[in-house]
Amino acid sequence: MKKSLSLALLVLLSSQANAHDRWILPSHFNVSSDKGAVWVTADTSASNQVFEYDKPFSADPVIIQTPSGKTDKPASIYQGKRKSVFDYQLTDDGTYKFEYPVKAGSFTRYKVKGEEGVKRKRADKATTKADAPAGAHDFYTKQFVSRVETYVTLNSATRETLAPSGQYLELTPVTHPADIVQNEQAVLKFTYNGQPVENLAVEIVADGTLYRNQLNKISLKSDAQGLIHFTPTQAGRYLLHAEHTIEFTDNKDVDELGSSIFLTFAVGLE
């Protein structure tokens, strides 16, 4: 038996962004060129960090899926403490997907008889139990999986890189990201392990929160088909975040799984 919970956290595309926020923000989402290859620069969070405590994971290089079905990597990367920047050359017409590697990480908490407080270890339950002192009990393991992604299109939009993998929480654009336009309805689909997620809470926040008093966030919930429908009223860059949490009662290794998505996209002028 398992209990499904849908959660969303507030996200900001500004210098006030906190440690939970993750993004890949390209200099251009849609590029037109009749002169061949085009260079794109992207600003990213420093790593695909899935924990809010202790030290973050080491930064993983961004993976790039090309329109032709190949997997590529950035041409150059500058890695900072809070964010990183990379360059990539678009050579083929079509839609590219920029994403962090999707990796599961585990965190286990437990108590020790005769000691106050809760102990924590960034490891799965078996490893934590093996390393824990005598008298340890009440082990609880949460696994985290995070998708951080965006799409960049050169000239004509294609859909090959939009296909889901069928694992964890995923966002599949019904409306192509290159075709999201101000004052026109856009549709996105959410699935978990390939199945539609109903009542998933999704929040979308426009860029520039540092320069306005109101967040002007768009709060949505998916329908029975896992779809959300929204009509952005202003052009610009946006960050979407949704998180799906599952609690297990019959899994000896994992008690809770948190699967999240961060997607940046642009809304074009009508």
Q: Could you give the 3-state DSSP secondary structure of residue 211?
A: helix
Q: How does pLDDT run across 205-229, given as a tens digit for each residue?
A: 998 777 777 677 899 999 999 999 9
Q: Band of the pLDDT at 21, cuts 50, 70, 90?
A: low
Closest CA to 143 of 164, 110, 118, 168: 168
- pTM, entire model: 0.85
Helix (H) or strand (E) holding 126: helix 125-131
User: Rounded to the nearest 5°, which phi and psi values hold at 131?
Assistant: -95, -15
Given a cut of 50, whether residue 57 has pLDDT beyond it is no
